[in-house]
């Protein structure tokens, strides 16, 4: 029985204002796509988004394939 694998994805966000909003959304979409592809690969994932100053960290706990 293997232990849980922890992965950390960092999505760097610029200051949230109108001029950078499209860029921010694009980065978030890319992250969502990555998460979806992981789910499709059969991994059992639990996501814990944590918003920090200028950074969104998503901690991915991989429970392994079932």
Give the pLDDT confidence of 4-47 residue by residue, as tens digits. 444 433 333 333 333 444 555 666 666 666 666 665 555 554 44
Domains of the chain: total: 1
Which residues span the domain enclosing 43?
5-65
pTM over 0.75: no
For 18, which DSSP code?
A: T
CA angle 46, 27, 18 (to 5 degrees): 125
What is the rounded CA–CA span in Å between residue 24 and residue 10? 13
């Amino acid at each position: 029985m293997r232990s849980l694998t922890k992965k950390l994805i960092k999505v760097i966000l610029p200051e949230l204002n109108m001029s950078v909003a499209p860029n921010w959304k694009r980065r978030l979409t890319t992250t969502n796509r990555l998460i979806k592809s992981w789910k499709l690969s059969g991994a059992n994932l639990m996501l814990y988004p944590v918003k920090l100053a200028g950074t969104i960290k998503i901690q991915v706990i991989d429970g392994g394939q079932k």
